[in-house]
Every structure is written in C-alpha cells, then in structure tokens.
Amino acid sequence: MVDLKTLPIEISETNEVRSLHLETDSIQSSMLIQDPIHLTLKYTQVVALTLLFFRHPKNITILGLGAGSLTKFFFYLCPKTKIHTIEINPRVIDVAHQMFDVPFETKRHHITESDAEIYLKQNKTKLQIIISDIFDGYGIPRTFTQKKYFKLCSERLENNGLFIINLWGSDKKTPNYIQDLKLIFSKVIIVESDNPGNVIIFCFKHSFLFPSKRQMDLRLSFLENKINFDLPFFYKRMLKRNKQLFESMNCL
C-alpha cells in the first residue's frame, strides 16, 4: 500500500508551465507561471462547472491539495466562500505555498494536514460542497473509490449538498464506481474532461434544487468575464452527456 504521507515530490517546468509530480512522471497539477490562478488542466476546468449549480457557495471542502489549483481558483473567484483543503503530505503543503502561489491561512481559507477519510470521520460538521481529488503517482488510492468512502462523504453533506469526485477514465473499474455513486446519491452528472482522461462526477443529495437552464446560462455568461478558459465547451458537453437527466428535471 502506498503511503501518501511520504510520497516523493518533483517539480518540472516546460513552456511557462510548472507542474507537480508525485513519485512518477504523471502530472498531478500544473500552473501557468504568469497566471497562477488559471486552471491549466482540463479536469480542473470541468470542476469549475460547480459555480453553475451554486452561484455563491457557503463553503467548499477540497480533499487533496496537489499544487492547489482548485483551492486557489475558488478562493479568489468566490470571495465570500470558506475554503478548507485537506492534505496528508506536509511536503505537498510546503511546496504548494512555495512554488505554486497557494495563499497562506486567512479567515476563510485553511489547509489541514490530515488523512481525508480520518478527517471526515472525526469532523461531523455538515458541508455544502466536497471535492475529492486524491491521487498518488499511479491513480486513486483504493480507499477513496470504495462505497463506504462515498457514503461517508454523503453523510457529511448538507441535504442540498454536492459531492464531486475526480475519477480516471482509463480505469476499468470507473463504471463500477459510478454505479455505486448512483446508489448513494439522488442525482449523478458525468462530465469527461478529455478522451481518454479524467472523468468528473457531480453527485447531488436528495433535496438539491437544480437551477433552470436559463439560470445556468446567465451564470455561465457572468463567469466568462472572470476566467480565461473555455468553460462553455464543458457546459455544452455536460448538457449533451446528461441530456436525459436534465430533461427529466425540466432543466432543458
């Protein structure tokens, strides 16, 4: 079993992009050196669709820091949102601050050094949004793809909360993980970031009130003025991939 707490870290730079690697050459996270808040990797851009469902999130808990791309994005783009990131590897936390411009602690931003599963078991505060983005150099550690972990995340959510998990499309077991999520959550939306590539799963608890397509279109238009990547591309992909679900909710 891989010890996430002691995984060796490497940093690479290519074409003005700085990347974090854990144990292997696989890129865990990347940052444009001239624009540290930009979401460089496609899967993180898909996660930004969160703001079409929650215009002003109260709180976002991110499990897995990496180079802090999602932590920085939501911290700077959502000035009223409390951001709490859980990271087991103290060296990752240090590198994120030193090399990837992740801000130090503020009144609404905090990074806790802890195992994500242990943290969720010990801290029973209800959360609005949980993002699970936990990888080692070879993929997602088995603990964080199990049904009991999905249930734990669901239990920590408010009744109208959202759980987001980053899965790996080339993993033959990913369809099984998605089926488990559908058994636990009321609504599940699937968005591929690339083909092949990461698959982002948006999992909603039972009382979540979906916005209309008009509301999502307006939110998208607002966000376009604040970001410099093609979020409409992933929005259209989301609507097409989950057309039947959105139609059943009268969202299209």
Average model confidence (pLDDT) for the chain?
92
Domain contains 11: no
Distances (CA, A) of 194 to 43, 134, 197, 200, 214: 8, 19, 5, 10, 26
What percent of the chain shows pLDDT beyond 90? 77
Domain CATH number, residue 230: 3.40.50.150
**Any domain includes 4:** no
What's the rounded mean pLDDT across residues 80-94? 96
Query: Does a structural domain hold residue 52?
Result: yes
CB 49 within 8 Å of CB 33: no
Under the banding of pLDDT at 50, 70 and 90, the label for residue 24 is confident
Domain containing 205 equals: 36-248
At 31 the three-state DSSP class reads strand
Residue at 20 is within a domain = no
User: What average pLDDT does the segment 107-127 reach?
Assistant: 95
Q: Is residue 198 part of a domain?
A: yes
Residue 12 domain-assigned? no
Residue 202 above 90 pLDDT?
yes
* Tens-place pLDDT, residues 219-245: 999 999 899 899 999 999 999 999 988
- Domains of the chain: total: 1
For 153-164, what is the mean pLDDT? 96
Mean pLDDT along residues 196-224: 90
pLDDT at 66: 93
pTM: 0.94
| Confidence band of 252 (pLDDT split at 50, 70, 90) | low
Whether residue 26 lies inside any domain: the answer is no
14 lies in a domain?
A: no
